[in-house]
Amino acid sequence: MCGAENCARKGVIAIQIPRIKILSIFGTRPEAIKMAPLVKALAAEPGIESLICVTGQHQSMLKQVLDLFDLKADFTLDVMTPHQTLNSLTAALYSAIDPVLEQTRPDRVLVHGDTTSAMVASMAAFHRRIPVGHVEAGLRTGDIYSPWPEEMNRRCIDLSADLLFAPTGQSRDNLLGERLQGHCLVTGNTVIDALQLTAQRINKDAQLRGELDQQFPFLQTGRKLLLVTGHRRENFGEGFLDICKALRHLAQRTDIQIVYPVHLNPNVLGPVTEQLGDLLNVHLIKPLDYLAFVRLMQHAHVILTDSGGVQEEAPSLGKPVLVMRDVTERPEAVAAGTVRLVGTSPASIIAGVNALFDDVALWRRTSQAVNPYGDGKASQRIVDTLMGRPVDDFVVGQVQPTHAPLHTPLSEPRELLADFTS
Ligand code: UD1
Ligand code: UDP
């Protein structure tokens, strides 16, 4: 290779191949987790100039992820306000994102999933006729009010995108059924890339496991862990009161312990601390960074959640999941038998949780590790597509994961707890 100066001296013209300028825009915890492996892969690609804009829709919950994955934002916007409404957030995002597009003039914008940050970023790029790539395209419940507003957000994004990175064959079929303009390919979900990186880091480092476990000094040997997360807007009010009612009832069981890292949304934090704060058997803790949360998922016997990302991660870890929603846009793990919808009625949540703690055969059937959401290569497929290289679709069961098991299998959660309480 000759440097530009040397080449000029020798009378050779150095041709600089222009790099593709990609601006990734994201703003919340799950987007950051799922974009982290992708922006790392973009940065490692010589043909790409990768820029990151974080919108600040989330602050502390996003910073945790940036720090963990060592990501440096090129643009940090500051849109979050306490108790933000969908419309105030949307307006703030348009005003904040547009100057970044004006300044950077990217060849392409990448957004992820279905948040308001992603929807506004895609529309702002569309208004400037900048091509949009949608990572995690094609998820659908078919009900625009559930999840709300995410189902509408993801539809808007898919309409405006010319590259649709569908995580599964089912999501690709949803897109094809809508006859959208964008080109679609099946990549697997980048959340599995992030989970593999993180779980492997935990599994190969006993000292790190010890340090992470010190964050859970309250866990007791001999009690199986029910891990809970919940934050969906459509569950605010009655829904959360019902979820809390169910957890109060379940907390009476002396053979289980409940851990709930509580989302910082005041509509969640308020009712949850008010309703459950006095229970010794319910540990309400601050949102964990991703490393600690993956470790806690490894310890769980059962996971109860309304989160999208957790529904995708837990099956890879072999953890049964009960989903507090009536519909899900992630039907693959339901079909595989590791995820079951229980809605938000207290009776249904209680029955679902009790069944998994009391029926060993049921627990064994639903705790098989399955990988319907990815093989850890989604980010590379996306980068290859952007570079115009041929890419094979992710097909469940066809592409064998090359990674080690995502957790050290132990027959009993009891042993797992003993290893850090002793
Ligand atoms: C948002 C997304 C949702 C995603 C979720 C992931 C929308 C409309 N909602 O919901 O799709 O599943 O993130 O967690 O895009 N807050 C803090 N600190 C933080 C984060 C939030 O204090 O780090 C509080 C603020 O008071 C903020 C409120 O939470 O106003 C709500 O945040 P917002 O992003 O509007 O909604 P989420 O419920 O977090
Ligand atoms: N998560 C985390 N810390 C926590 C709870 C969840 O890192 O205390 C991770 C979780 O593993 C998943 C993502 O955050 O990858 C899910 O985010 P959230 O539930 O906020 O949003 P959703 O997935 O519902 O959009």
pLDDT, one tens digit per residue, over 217-229 is 999 989 999 999 9
**Catalytic residue from among 31, 114, 158, 384:** 114
Two tokens, residue 59:
């602050």
Mean per-residue pLDDT for 137-152? 97
User: Residue 60 above 80 pLDDT?
Assistant: yes
Q: Which domain holds residue 41?
A: 18-189+374-386
Report the Cα 155 to chain-centroid distance in Å: 18
Distance 69 CA to ligand 1 centre (A): 20
Active site residue 407: no
Q: Annotated catalytic, 136?
A: yes
Does 13 map to a domain? no
* Per-residue exposure over 95-108, b if at least 16 CB sit within 10 Å of its own CB, e if not: ebbeebbeebebbb
- Catalytic residue (one of 107, 209, 233, 326): 233
Is residue 231 within 6 Å of ligand 1 at its C-beta? Answer: yes
Instruction: Indicate whether 152 and 264 sit together in one domain.
Output: no
> What CATH code is carried by the domain that includes residue 122?
3.40.50.2000
3-class DSSP assignment, residue 324:
coil
In this structure, the answer to whether residues 379 and 314 fall within a common structural domain is: no
- pTM score, whole prediction: 0.93
Q: What is the mean pLDDT of residues 321-342?
A: 96
pLDDT digits (tens, 9 = 90+) for 1-33: 344 455 455 666 777 778 999 999 999 999 999
Please tell me which residue, 405 or 411, carries the higher pLDDT value: 405
Check pLDDT > 80 for residue 76.
yes
Q: How many CB atoms lie within 10 A of CB 196?
A: 21
Please report whether residue 156 resides in a domain.
yes
**Residue 275, SS3?**
helix
| Contacts of 227 by beta carbon, 8 Å cutoff, 6+ apart | 259, 260, 296, 297, 299, 300, 302, 303, 304, 305
My answer on whether 217 and 132 are in the same domain is no
Confidence check: pLDDT of 411 > 80: no
Section 135-162 average pLDDT: 97
Give the Å distances, CA to CA, from 163 to 132, 185, 319.
7, 8, 33
Catalytic (active site) residue 114: yes
| Closest atom of ligand 1 relative to the 147 alpha carbon | 11
361 and 379 share one domain: no
User: Is residue 213 in a domain?
Assistant: yes
Residue-level pLDDT at 397: 77
Evaluate if residue 409 carries a pLDDT over 50: no
Do 31 and 156 fall within a single domain? yes
Whether 135 and 79 share a structural domain: yes
Quickly state the pLDDT bin for 369 (edges 50, 70, 90).
confident
CA of 262 from ligand 1 middle (Å) equals 12
Q: Are residues 149 and 255 in the same domain?
A: no
233 is catalytic: yes
Structure tokens given for 196? 């593999």
pLDDT at 353 over 80: yes
Confidence (pLDDT) at 415? 34
In this prediction, residue 6 carries a pLDDT of 55
The answer on pLDDT for 244 being more than 90 is: yes
Alpha carbon distance 97, 367 (integer Å):
43
The structural domain count of the chain equals 2
Which amino acid does the sequence have at 387?
M
Measured CA to CA, the distance from residue 320 to residue 362 in angstroms comes to 10
Q: Are both 272 and 285 inside the same structural domain? A: yes
State the average pLDDT over residues 198-219.
97
Spatial contact of 338 and 356, defined as CB atoms under 8 Å apart: no
Which residue is catalytic, options 150, 242, 306, 375? Answer: 150
Does 10 reside within a domain?
A: no
**Ligand 1 pocket residue status of 264, Cβ below 6 Å:** yes
As a whole number, the mean pLDDT across the chain is 92
Q: Quick check: is 391 in a domain?
A: no
Q: Say if residue 355 is in the same domain as residue 378.
A: no
Q: Which amino acid is at 140?
A: R
State yes or no: pLDDT of 303 exceeds 50: yes
Q: Report the separation in Å between the CA atom of 62 and the middle of ligand 1, taken as the mean of its atom positions.
A: 10
Q: Are residue 152 and residue 115 in the same domain, yes or no?
A: yes
Identify whether residues 44 and 59 lie together within a single domain.
yes
Q: Look at residue 285 and tell me if it is in a domain.
A: yes
The pLDDT value recorded for residue 160 is: 97
State the distance from the centre of ligand 1 to the C-alpha of 265, rounded, in angstroms: 6
Residue 396 inside a domain? The answer is no
- Residue 56 sits in the same domain as residue 135: yes
Q: In this model, does residue 335 exceed pLDDT 60?
A: yes
Asked if residue 395 is part of any domain, the answer here is no
Lowest mean pLDDT across 5-9, 79-83, 321-325: 5-9
* pLDDT recorded at residue 268: 97
Q: φ, ψ for residue 144 (rounded to 5)?
A: -70, -10
